[in-house]
C-alpha cells in the first residue's frame, strides 16, 4: 500500500499481518478520493475501524488538518501508530485503541464534528448501518459532510439511514463503496 498523492505521495505504509483486516486497495482508494475531491473539501476527518490508517493518512496527505483514527484490534492499532509516525503525521492525528461505538459516544461528548467520515468495518456484521445511525443521532457529521462506507457487495444497506441518504454507490469487484450525506 502507498499514499497516492499529496505531501506523502508515493510513501509506503504497512498493513497489519494476517487476514483480520482488508486494507483498501490503491485502485479503490484512488477512485474514492477522485470522487471526493470533485465535490467535497475536508479538514476534519474521522477514520472509524481504521485498520492501518490507509484512508485517513491519505486524507492528511491531501490536506486534511486533522484525522481521528479509531481502531480496536491491537495489532492493527500498533501498525496504525507506526504508519502515522513514519509519515510524521503526529501533529495532524489523534489515535485511539477503542471500540468504535464507545469512541463515537466520546467524540460526541467532546462536541466533535467531521467533514469526512470513513467506515470500513468487518463485512457482514451490520456495522455500517449501526455506525451511521449513531453518527447521525450524535450529530457527528458536519452539514455538507460526507460518510464513505466500504462493504462487501452482498451487504445490503438501505438508501436512507435516519437523516443520512446514500448519494452514490460504486462497485469494485467484491467491494462496494457508498457515499452518504444529509444533502438532497
Per-residue pLDDT tens digits for 132-154: 999 999 999 999 999 999 998 88
Instruction: Give the bridge partners for 67, in sequence order.
Output: 45, 93
pLDDT at 21 over 60: no
User: Sign of the CA dihedral 108, 114, 119, 121?
Assistant: negative
Domains and CATH numbers, the chain: 26-181 (3.40.50.150)
Q: What is the reported pTM?
A: 0.94
pLDDT at 60 over 80: yes
Strands laid side by side in the 160-161 sheet: 93-97, 66-71, 44-48, 114-119, 141-152, 175-181, 164-172, 160-161
The Cα 100–Cα 103 span in angstroms is 5
Place of cell 457527528: 140
pLDDT at 103 over 60: yes
Higher pLDDT, 163 or 27: 163
Instruction: Give the bridge partners for 12, in sequence order.
Output: 2
Q: Kindly state the cell numbers that stand for 6.
A: 499529496
Amino acid at each position: 500500500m502507498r499514499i497516492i498523492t499529496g505531501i506523502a505521495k508515493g510513501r509506503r505504509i504497512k498493513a497489519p499481518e494476517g487476514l483480520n483486516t482488508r486494507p483498501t486497495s490503491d485502485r479503490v482508494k484512488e477512485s474514492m478520493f477522485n470522487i471526493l475531491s470533485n465535490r467535497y473539501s475536508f479538514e476534519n476527518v474521522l477514520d472509524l475501524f481504521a485498520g492501518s490508517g490507509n484512508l485517513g493518512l491519505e486524507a492528511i496527505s491531501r490536506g486534511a488538518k486533522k484525522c481521528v483514527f479509531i481502531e480496536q484490534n491491537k495489532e492493527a492499532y500498533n501498525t496504525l501508530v507506526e504508519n502515522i509516525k513514519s509519515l510524521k503525521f503526529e501533529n495532524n492525528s489523534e489515535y485511539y485503541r477503542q471500540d468504535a461505538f464507545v469512541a463515537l459516544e466520546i467524540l460526541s461528548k467532546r462536541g466533535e464534528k467531521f467533514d469526512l467520515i470513513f467506515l470500513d468495518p468487518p463485512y457482514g456484521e451490520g456495522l455500517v448501518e449501526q455506525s451511521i445511525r449513531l453518527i447521525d443521532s450524535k450529530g457527528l457529521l458536519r452539514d455538507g459532510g460526507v460518510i464513505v462506507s466500504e462493504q462487501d457487495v452482498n451487504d445490503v444497506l438501505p438508501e436512507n439511514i435516519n437523516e443520512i441518504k446514500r448519494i452514490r454507490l460504486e462497485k469494485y469487484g467484491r467491494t462496494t463503496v457508498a457515499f452518504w450525506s444529509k444533502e438532497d
